[in-house]
A and B are shown apart, each in its own frame.
Chain A
Amino acid sequence: MADPLQIAGFLAVIFAASFGAGIVGSLAGLGGGVFLVPLLTVGFGLDIHYAIGASIVSVIATSSGAAAAYVRDRITNLRIGMFLELATTTGAITGALVATFVQPRTLFLIFGAVLALSAVPLIRQIGEELPAGVRDDVWASRLRLAGTYPDAVHRRNVPYQVTRVPLGLGMMWIAGLISGLLGIGSGVFKVLAMDVGMRLPMKVSTTTSNFMIGVTAAASAGIYFGRGDVLPVVAAPVALGVLAGAGVGTRLLVRMRNNTLRQLFVPILLLISAEMILRGFGVRL
């Protein structure tokens, strides 16, 4: 016999959790898998494959839902996003190709540690509302990557330049590699590449990351979908909850200071780093 109340309750809890993940993800420029995967595996006892399938859906929903608003509001830098997608898609393919030859546990340890270390330059930048003294490098001026975004807090259009594009490309390749190999943590590396690497304003970094993560996730979504890892009863409330959450998050980001956003980002980065290191030691959350 079907139990409609139990099923409705299950859908409601997943929707509510995804709503929260959607708010945080749309602010921080990531997909919210760091919150959803432990909830689904530990909370509901779901198989890790189903949880990662749901996480992929959440990444794509956050990306398209949030980017629709951020692109319209001209906070996302489309040219930077599309140029760097060259590196993320190449990285994702590399990851899928070498996946059979490498030990995921070692990689979780390495990238978890890299993330933890990257908190240092990020924390050092706290207090800096807008990057100062950044000049276009050769790549940035050739490709016309510099831009302007409207900042409601400062009540003006903020122009910015872009530096160390090759470093950004390299970090984006790693972000793609991680998503192809490990399935989590690619959004956080993208934000780092743009904020710490290319020195963009924090809002431009997280919104451009948001814009890009959907493409990175779509590259591997076909694999998960074809394997049957995307369960309708889980994916539907995840997608709807995340979309609703992204609707709220995008309204919040506009009114936030870059510095507040960075302060919000640091603990999330440390959480993702801890989750990766735990998995490296064989603890599956």
Chain B
Amino acid sequence: MIGRIRPYLERSFEPLIATLLLGGVGVSAALLVLGLALFLVTGRSGYGEVATVAVLTGPSAASQYPHSIGSILRGVAELRSFAIVELGIVVLVATPVLRVAASVFLFLAEEDRVFVAVTVAVLVLLLSSIFLLH
């Protein structure tokens, strides 16, 4: 009986998840294109002197760019090209996390208690591995 109802319930569920994923990917890609274009046009990363690929990918490259949300946002406000690129990466990484969070609410709307518990547990595990383990 439930098996027959399920496809109708999911009719509203799946487009929402698909739209969320597409939105995250779209915003991320737009930021990456914008940041790269700004970088190529101005020739400036916004962080230190850019010489060659060797400098951009060398052993000290990592320490030059911002890695915290605050410093990335400041860099974006100052129109530093690599800060815009990094914001694009942050949006990309956040997309699957948002998808799990959104699923919690979708299962709540379906009153599917088992899957509300499953998705909440996944969200807690995911957030703890992102924020606690390093």
Contacts and interface: CB of A to CB of B under 8 A. Distances in A.
Interface stretch (A29-37, A190-198, A215-223, A261-269): A215-223
Contacts of A281: none
A226 B134 contact: yes
B122 to A, nearest CB: 5
B100 A61 contact: no
B61 interface: yes
A27 interface: no
Nearest to A213: B96
- Indicate the size class of the contact surface on chain A: 35 or more
Given A86-B118, A89-B122, A144-B6, A219 B59 contact: no
Interface string A122-144: 00000000000000000000011
A92 interface: yes
A52 interface: no
Nearest to B117: A86
Interface string A1-19: 1111011101100000000
A229 B25 CA distance: 21
A214 B51 contact: no
Contacts of B53: 6-7, 10, 44, 233
B96 A215 contact: yes
B89 A90 contact: no
B3 interface: yes
Contact of A60 (B82, B93, B121): B93
Given A90-B125, A232-B35, A232-B45, A221 B18 contact: no
Contact of A146 (B3, B29, B90, B99): B3
Given A215-B126, A228-B62, A4 B134 contact: no
Contacts of B118: 82-83, 86
Contacts of B103: 78, 82
B125 A225 contact: no
Interface in A213-256: 214-215, 217-223, 225-237, 239-240, 243
A60 B94 CA distance: 9
Given A7-B40, A144-B2, A222-B130, A72 B62 contact: no
A20 B125 CA distance: 33
B10 A78 contact: yes
B59 A47 contact: yes
Interface stretch (A62-70, A113-121, A270-278): A62-70
14 contacts: A2-B51, A10-B53, A46-B57, A50-B62, A64-B25, A79-B115, A89-B129, A97-B133, A144-B6, A220-B129, A222-B130, A230-B89, A231-B57, A236-B89
Interface of A: 1-4, 6-8, 10-11, 44, 46-47, 50, 57, 60-61, 63-65, 67-69, 71-72, 74, 78-79, 82-83, 85-86, 89-90, 92-93, 96-97, 143-144, 146, 148, 214-215, 217-223, 225-237, 239-240, 243
Interface of B: 2-3, 6-7, 10, 13-15, 17-19, 21-22, 24-25, 28-29, 32-33, 35-36, 40, 43, 45, 50-53, 56-57, 59, 61-63, 65, 67-68, 82, 85-86, 88-90, 92-97, 99-100, 103, 114-115, 118-119, 121-122, 125-126, 128-131, 133-134
Q: Top 7 nearest A-B pairs by Cβ distance?
A: A228-B62, A214-B96, A72-B18, A68-B21, A89-B125, A222-B130, A219-B129
